[in-house]
Amino acid sequence: MTKNKETILVTGGAGFIGSNLVEKLLELGAKVIVFDNLSTGRKENIKDFFKNPDFKFIKGDLRNQKEIEKATRGVDYIFHQAAIPSVSRSILDPKSTFESNALGTLNLLNAAKKYKVKKIVYASSSSIYGPNPVLPKQENMPPNPVSPYAVSKFAGEKLCQIFSKIYDLPTICLRYFNIFGPRQNPHSEYAAVIPKFIFAFLNHERPIIYGDGEQTRDFTHVENVVEANLKALHSKFNNGEIFNIACGKKTSILELLAILNRIFSKNLKPYFKEKRPGEIKHSFADISKAKKELEYNPKVSLEKGLKKTIQWFIEYGEN
């Protein structure tokens, strides 16, 4: 993948998705710098990489222009994974979400322009589509973000496009749909549904469902996302083009619970709690554009991904 030990910066590289990406990049022979303030990322996610001479960790904050410029100097490519990634948290504290996600992206783009980075792959979000009832979600749909988090990620997309158009900085934007897999934290108040459910099953506890459980998501294993990032990096698209990254299948929360009951040979019943504000009812991606243009092909299905993730939690997770 890499030529002459390309140096790749991964912002948010101590986070769930970022650390999986870092692991793959190191396997492929790249020099990898992780830039993370450890607000949601965890040092334990990257602890095994420190023995690799091609790995470097910088603790820093995207809101600090000097810190991100120092990390960007001499870098060939950037995978921009860093964000405060919660809809509900953004509703409670919109200012910090917007500063980290939108202003942080602007600071990174300025640094990348200054040091002539070859390309930025930006991690965007399906939340940008909002409550539009039309399914599946296609990249050409008008955005309708309904949470501060979604607005901040949309702002990042537009900034990438502007920097490509005005400053000739190559960028590409990947809209993630409900990613899950190893190293995802089940303990955060804002944790995603799959690690929370798996943790509940491993501890023989009834899982919590917010709302009626009929809401649907396009659950996507992190291995598929890592592959999509690598495809995007070496693609011909350099002007902030947008691609959905998912599996192209919708699953309700109740269906997810049924699959886990089958895998675990259990019959756990959920606790139902009130629906959380700002969350959309249905999310389901059309991935035909990514398949055609990026040759993206999600190899890990939901059930296969769940089994892989459960095995990881049994071996390495805190359960």
Query: Is position 188 within any domain?
Result: no
pLDDT over 50 (residue 2)? no
pLDDT tens profile 161-174: 999 999 999 999 99
Residues counted in the chain: 319
**Residue 185 vs residue 46, higher pLDDT:** 46
Q: What integer pLDDT is reported at residue 180 of this predicted model?
A: 96
**Owning domain of residue 19:** 7-181+220-247+284-299
Q: What integer pLDDT is reported at residue 188 of this predicted model?
A: 75
Q: What integer pLDDT is reported at residue 124 of this predicted model?
A: 98
Residue 12 belongs to domain with CATH number: 3.40.50.720
Query: Is position 95 within any domain?
Result: yes
Query: Is position 162 within any domain?
Result: yes
pLDDT band at 191 (very low <50, low <70, confident <90, very high): confident
Cα separation, 242 vs 65, in Å, equals 26
- 96, burial (CB in 10 Å: exposed 0-12, middle 13-18, buried 19+): middle
Query: Is position 18 within any domain?
Result: yes
pLDDT mean over 10-29: 98
pLDDT mean over 124-150: 95
- 161, burial (CB in 10 Å: exposed 0-12, middle 13-18, buried 19+): middle
pLDDT tens profile 255-295: 999 999 999 999 999 999 999 887 889 999 999 999 999 99
User: Around 100, how many Cα atoms within 13 Å sit in the side-chain half-sphere?
Assistant: 25
Query: Is position 277 within any domain?
Result: no
Using an 8 Å Cβ cutoff, are 27 and 226 in contact?
no
Percentage of the chain modeled with pLDDT above 90:
91
Mean pLDDT over each residue of the chain, to the nearest integer: 95
Q: What integer pLDDT is reported at residue 278 of this predicted model?
A: 79
Using an 8 Å Cβ cutoff, are 227 and 299 in contact?
yes
Q: What integer pLDDT is reported at residue 303 of this predicted model?
A: 97
| Structural domains counted in the chain | 1
Query: Is position 253 within any domain?
Result: no
Query: Is position 121 within any domain?
Result: yes
Cα separation, 103 vs 117, in Å, equals 19
Omega before 136 cis (within 30°)? yes
pLDDT over 70 (residue 62)? yes
Q: What integer pLDDT is reported at residue 305 of this predicted model?
A: 98
pLDDT over 60 (residue 319)? no
| Parallel, antiparallel or unpaired: strands 220-221 and 179-180 | parallel
Q: What integer pLDDT is reported at residue 49 of this predicted model?
A: 98
Cα separation, 207 vs 15, in Å, equals 24
Query: Is position 87 within any domain?
Result: yes
**What's the whole-model pTM score?**
0.95
**Residue 93 vs residue 316, higher pLDDT:** 93
Q: What integer pLDDT is reported at residue 53 of this predicted model?
A: 98
pLDDT tens profile 213-235: 999 999 999 999 999 999 999 99
Please report which residue ranges of 59-217 form alpha helices under DSSP H.
Answer: 65-72, 87-92, 94-98, 104-114, 148-167, 193-202
pLDDT over 80 (residue 4)? no
